[in-house]
């Protein structure tokens, strides 16, 4: 199928003017004007009726996709399709039960596909070997535990090793590698849905929604809406600093030649290696997509202590990511004017709040002028965007306070009150919005443990690296409208 014939859908945060010629949204946020012909083309793409494949249409389509304004909607591709060939790589360490369950699921979806299991020095090697043999997979063993990055690299490189045993044999080279951790189970059609995106040659990586495994205990109730691996229900073009700034490698599909170009996962990183590789690919202009129509379930941590260790481990990667990618990992990324007015409204005295309110009103007026002739009701849209931006700023400040800056906010009574509010108020809003099985007190306690453990990991990484860069906000100065 031609990419011009693939149906598109608008991103969840995109608004379109009534005459169809203006789009606002995307990642990062922008305003795009369309000609009448461009607007009609978009209509055709949204309904799946487009037939035109001119160079101008291709450029417009690419501009909208790369701007995060629209997302392609594909029909699932069978795992044995010659259109997109694939092989599976499964890293495992001391998880025979999870491995057995996963391989059974993969074989039910894809009986003939090559599966390489990399045992990263499990204690019971014979159990792993028996399970791998029972499911007709290939096994590679590490004598010492080298971490998930090394295990995945060993796996995909093993797939590409020449395996010619007789004249005329041809080494199998899959177009994509499907990485699945042993504690993950893909839902039906998830793999096929992910493979479909590789019909687009510009796509390098596609990730499913990795949702928490349903359960009846308190951890499962919290993880249902707060798992760090769950990127939500909205399709997205992955890009640093946006609502979907990374995707986890718990399940990840990567184009093989891009994997080779990137050199695979960085084995020096015990955690955060997935974020690192994705950002390296994005930096070189490759598209990374998040596809929530494909869902995989990730097994929850079995205890509160394990839950806390997981968050600590993730936080500990911030300093290493900062050393490699600079301010992309900053805990707060906001325009300077929004930062100052938000801080003034939240923490200023009466006069400062009046000044901040006046500055906010002034920004609404300025934005209204820019939007005249571009949207239906400029003042209404300007007010909506300003309120939305300040809401994001409050959320970002609260998250940065509890996940990165907590040790700096315990020294005065006022800062402790601000820190408590940054923890409790979002927890209450989240609880009333989602109505989880946990009561409000339990939900708030888990949030405190979640953010506190992550923050402890961030500081452990900072102290180990000797650099505070991972703690510094990124405040943009200039035209931020």
Query: What span, in angstroms and rounded, lies between the C-alpha atoms of 206 and 194?
Result: 6
pLDDT confidence of 169, banded at 50, 70, 90?
A: low
Judged against a pLDDT cut of 90, whether residue 84 lies above it is answered with no
pLDDT confidence of 132, banded at 50, 70, 90?
A: very high
pLDDT confidence of 78, banded at 50, 70, 90?
A: low
Looking at residue 305, its pLDDT comes to 97
Domain range list for the chain:
3-73, 86-300, 333-476
Please report, rounded to a whole number, the percentage of residues in the chain having pLDDT higher than 70.
95
Closest by CA to 249, choosing from 212, 193, 207, is 207
Q: Which residue has the higher pLDDT, 58 or 296?
A: 296
Instruction: Specify whether the CB–CB gap between 189 and 294 falls below 8 A.
Output: yes
Closest by CA to 223, choosing from 301, 156, 150, 281, is 301
Judged against a pLDDT cut of 60, whether residue 479 lies above it is answered with no
Looking at residue 339, its pLDDT comes to 80
Please count the CA atoms within 13 angstroms of the CA of 412 that sit on its side-chain side.
Answer: 3
pLDDT confidence of 306, banded at 50, 70, 90?
A: very high
Looking at residue 229, its pLDDT comes to 96
Q: Which residue has the higher pLDDT, 78 or 373?
A: 373
321-339 residues labelled b (16+ CB within 10 A) or e (exposed): bbebbebbbbbbbbbebbb
Mean pLDDT over all residues of the chain? 90
End-to-end CA distance of the chain: 39
Instruction: Specify whether the CB–CB gap between 329 and 318 falls below 8 A.
Output: yes
> Would you identify the CATH topology of the domain 86-300?
Spore Coat Polysaccharide Biosynthesis Protein SpsA; Chain A (3.90.550)
Judged against a pLDDT cut of 60, whether residue 184 lies above it is answered with yes
Looking at residue 166, its pLDDT comes to 53
127-145 residues labelled b (16+ CB within 10 A) or e (exposed): bbeebbeebebbbbebeee
Looking at residue 480, its pLDDT comes to 47
Which range, 28-42, 188-202, 203-217, 346-360, is most confident? 203-217
Regarding beta strands 287-298 and 251-255, do their DSSP bridges make them parallel or antiparallel, or are they unpaired?
A: unpaired
Regarding beta strands 86-92 and 115-120, do their DSSP bridges make them parallel or antiparallel, or are they unpaired?
A: parallel
Judged against a pLDDT cut of 50, whether residue 481 lies above it is answered with no
Looking at residue 81, its pLDDT comes to 64
Q: Where are the alpha helices (DSSP H) in 239-283?
A: 256-262, 273-283
Write the CB contacts of 354 (distance below 8 Å, at least 6 apart in sequence): none
Mean pLDDT of the 128-143 span: 96
Looking at residue 139, its pLDDT comes to 96
pLDDT confidence of 443, banded at 50, 70, 90?
A: very high
Judged against a pLDDT cut of 70, whether residue 202 lies above it is answered with yes
**What token pair was written down for 112?**
């003939």
Judged against a pLDDT cut of 80, whether residue 164 lies above it is answered with no
Please count the CA atoms within 13 angstroms of the CA of 409 that sit on its side-chain side.
Answer: 21
pLDDT tens, residue by residue, 309-327: 999 999 999 999 999 999 9
Which range, 74-78, 107-111, 425-429, is most confident? 425-429
**What token pair was written down for 284?**
């070189």
Give the predicted TM-score (pTM) of the model.
Answer: 0.90
pLDDT confidence of 167, banded at 50, 70, 90?
A: low
Please report, rounded to a whole number, the percentage of residues in the chain having pLDDT higher than 90.
61
Partners of 89 in the β-ladder: 116, 179
Closest by CA to 67, choosing from 142, 137, 8, 146, is 8
Looking at residue 342, its pLDDT comes to 82
Query: What span, in angstroms and rounded, lies between the C-alpha atoms of 373 and 231?
Result: 36
Judged against a pLDDT cut of 60, whether residue 370 lies above it is answered with yes
Judged against a pLDDT cut of 80, whether residue 464 lies above it is answered with yes
pLDDT tens, residue by residue, 15-71: 888 888 888 887 778 888 888 888 999 998 898 887 767 788 888 888 899 888 999
């Amino acid at each position: 199928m031609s990419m011009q014939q693939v149906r598109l859908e608008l991103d969840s945060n995109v608004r379109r003017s009534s005459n169809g010629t203006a789009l606002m949204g995307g990642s990062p946020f922008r305003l795009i004007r369309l000609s009448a012909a461009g607007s009609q083309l978009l209509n055709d793409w949204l309904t799946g009726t487009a037939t035109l494949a001119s160079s101008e249409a291709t450029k417009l389509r690419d501009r909208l996709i790369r701007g995060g304004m629209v997302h392609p909607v594909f029909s699932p591709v069978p795992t044995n399709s010659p259109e997109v060939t694939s092989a599976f790589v499964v890293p495992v360490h001391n998880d025979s039960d999870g491995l057995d369950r996963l391989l059974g699921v993969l074989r039910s979806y894809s009986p003939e596909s090559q599966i390489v299991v990399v045992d990263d020095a499990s204690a019971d090697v014979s159990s792993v070997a028996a399970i791998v043999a029972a499911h007709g997979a290939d096994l590679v063993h590490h004598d010492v535990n080298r971490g998930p990055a090394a295990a995945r690299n060993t796996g995909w490189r093993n797939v590409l090793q020449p395996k010619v045993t007789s004249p005329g044999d041809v080494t199998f080279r899959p177009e994509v590698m499907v990485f699945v951790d042993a504690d993950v189970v893909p839902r039906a059609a998830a793999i096929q849905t992910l493979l479909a995106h590789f019909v687009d040659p510009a796509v390098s990586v596609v990730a499913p929604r990795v949702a928490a495994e349903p359960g009846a205990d308190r951890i499962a109730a919290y993880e249902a809406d707060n798992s760090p691996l769950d990127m939500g229900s909205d399709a997205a073009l992955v890009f640093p600093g946006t609502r979907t700034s990374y995707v986890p490698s718990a399940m990840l599909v990567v184009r093989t030649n891009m994997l080779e170009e990137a050199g695979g996962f960085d084995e020096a990183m015990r955690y955060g290696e997935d974020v690192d590789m994705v950002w390296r690919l994005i930096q070189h202009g490759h598209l990374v997509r998040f596809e929530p129509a494909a869902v995989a379930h990730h097994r929850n941590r079995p205890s509160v202590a394990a839950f806390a260790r997981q968050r600590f481990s993730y936080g500990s990667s911030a300093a290493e990511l900062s050393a490699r990618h600079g301010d992309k990992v900053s805990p707060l990324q906001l325009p300077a004017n929004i930062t100052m007015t938000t801080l003034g409204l939240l923490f200023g005295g009466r006069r400062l709040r009046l000044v901040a309110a006046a500055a906010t009103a002034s920004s609404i007026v300025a934005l209204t002028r820019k939007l005249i002739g571009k949207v239906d009701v400029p003042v209404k849209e300007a007010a909506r965007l300003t309120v939305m931006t300040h809401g994001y700023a409050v959320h970002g400040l609260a998250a940065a306070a509890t996940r990165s800056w907590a040790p700096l906010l315990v020294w005065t009574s006022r800062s402790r009150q601000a820190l408590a509010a940054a923890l409790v108020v979002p927890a209450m809003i989240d609880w009333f919005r989602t109505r989880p099985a946990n009561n409000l007190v339990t939900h708030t306690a888990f949030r405190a443990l979640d953010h506190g453990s992550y923050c402890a990991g961030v500081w452990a990484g900072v102290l180990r690296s000797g650099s505070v860069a991972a703690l510094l906000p990124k405040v943009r100065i200039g035209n931020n409208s």
